């Protein structure tokens, strides 16, 4: 099994958030609407299906897949056997679903789960988390080490284009994998470790899926000592990097968990503004609608304090607003 870069060496120094002026954010209520009124506990992994004109996402905590029509606010849920970390549409139909112990395919909504690749090494402490497909149709899926006392989370690449699974370990030495994405020109790849408050980047060669020249893309300020939710101005804490998506201009949009915002970066790491949200815990953005100019964001309400939920009643809802720059379309999983 090939290992691209465990980034086990000391990361290069980069300025933390406090060393840079924070751009003004849009008001948190600027145009946000809910896709459906029913909140998820822990929404994640949204994608817009261009053929079905539906938005898909997962509720990890409830062990559910969700799909909804934003035009009617109608939704469907599907209970699955274990936590669904991430999902992707399959080119020849159906869904690819990363459950706790492996990657599965469902040919129809609610249909039988066909195992594609099993990961028995996950056991009871590791499960899949954030992931999506690259432009070649390979499924990249990161894991989370649930005790969070060791850096045992990794990033896998699963290639089924030949009809047989080719599984490659691409990165490791993390605690909670998130933020996997590729630049609009397919020359940069990103991956984040949420508890470490860091986003990693590599030069990316799309044909062979090779990662080169690892670097720390951005390191955020850690949570202040003694911090608790609900402090004025969030106690100076601006959140930690969760899921991400990229628009057609190449801007990386990162959900800042407990920061109530999306942080935007140019491909060279320059901050490109932020978008405020009416919730504390966004988890992952994506772009959709027929023109890809609707920005969707999944959010979390799991284990949040009652005062916060009272103050942010949309917590857990999947949110939507119109934007000027379209996003990139979802990549489909290819099975030979």
Task: For 111-149, write each residue's pLDDT tens digit.
Answer: 999 999 999 889 899 999 999 999 999 999 999 999 999
Band of the pLDDT at 24, cuts 50, 70, 90?
Answer: very low
- Among candidate residues 17, 101, 193, 242, the one labeled active-site is 242
Contact 242, 254 (CB under 8 A): yes
169-189 average pLDDT score: 97
pLDDT of 14 strictly over 60:
no
Three-state SS sequence of 148-162: CCCCCEEEEEEEECC
3-class DSSP assignment, residue 311: helix
pLDDT at 90: 98
**185 is a catalytic site residue:** no
Kindly tell me if the per-residue pLDDT of 278 is higher than 60: yes
Q: Measuring CA to CA, how many Å separate 261 from each of 9, 239, 265?
A: 31, 8, 13
Instruction: Report which of 92, 97, 107, 91 is spatially closest to residue 66, judged by C-alpha positions.
Output: 97
Q: DSSP states of 132-183 as a string? A: EE-TTSPEEEEEEETT-SS--EEEEEEEBTTSS-EEEEEEEEESBEEEEEE-
pLDDT at position 41 over 70:
yes
- Per-residue DSSP letters for 234-301? GGG---EEEEEEEBTT-PEEEEEETTTEEEEE-TTS-EEEEEE-SSS-EEEEEEESTTS-EEEEEEB-
Cα gap 252→36, rounded to integer Å: 26
Higher local confidence (pLDDT), 247 or 11: 247
3-class secondary-structure state, position 322: strand
Residue 27's pLDDT band (cuts 50, 70, 90): low
Query: In DSSP terms, which residues pair with 202 in a beta bridge?
Result: 189
Q: Are 129 and 177 in contact (CB under 8 A)?
A: yes
3-state secondary structure of 61: coil
- Structure pTM? 0.92
- List, in order, residues 6 or more apart from 163 with CB less than 8 Å away: 335, 336
């Amino acid at each position: 099994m090939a290992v691209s870069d465990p980034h086990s060496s000391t990361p290069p120094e980069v300025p933390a958030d406090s060393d840079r002026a924070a751009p003004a954010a849009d008001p948190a209520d600027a145009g946000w609407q809910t896709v459906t009124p029913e909140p998820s506990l822990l929404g994640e992994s949204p994608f817009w299906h261009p053929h079905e004109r539906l938005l898909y996402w997962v509720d990890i905590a409830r062990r559910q897949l969700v799909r909804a029509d934003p035009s009617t606010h109608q939704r469907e849920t599907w209970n699955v056997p274990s936590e669904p970390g991430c999902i992707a549409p399959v080119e020849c139909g159906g869904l690819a679903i990363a459950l706790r112990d492996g990657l599965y395919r469902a040919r129809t909504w609610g249909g039988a789960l066909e195992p594609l690749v099993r990961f028995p090494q996950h056991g009871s402490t590791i499960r899949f988390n954030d992931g999506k497909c690259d432009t070649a149709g390979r499924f990249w899926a990161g894991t989370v080490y649930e005790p969070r006392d060791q850096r045992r989370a990794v990033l896998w690449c699963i290639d089924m284009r030949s009809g047989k699974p080719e599984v490659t370990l691409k990165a490791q030495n993390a605690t909670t994998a998130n933020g996997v994405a590729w630049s609009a020109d397919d020359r940069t790849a990103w991956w984040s470790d949420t508890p470490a408050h860091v986003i990693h980047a590599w030069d990316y060669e799309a044909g062979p899926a090779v990662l080169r020249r690892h670097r720390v893309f951005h390191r955020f300020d850690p949570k202040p000592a003694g911090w608790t939710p609900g402090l004025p101005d969030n106690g100076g804490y601006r959140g930690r990097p969760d899921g991400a998506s990229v628009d057609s201009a190449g801007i990386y949009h990162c959900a800042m968990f407990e920061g109530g915002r999306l942080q935007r970066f140019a491909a060279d790491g320059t901050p490109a503004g932020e978008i405020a949200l009416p919730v504390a815990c966004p988890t992952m953005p994506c772009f959709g609608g027929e023109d890809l100019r609707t920005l969707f964001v999944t959010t979390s309400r799991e284990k949040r304090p009652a005062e916060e939920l009272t103050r942010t009643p949309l917590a857990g809802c999947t949110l939507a607003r119109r934007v000027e720059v379209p996003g990139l379309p979802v990549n489909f999983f290819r099975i030979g």
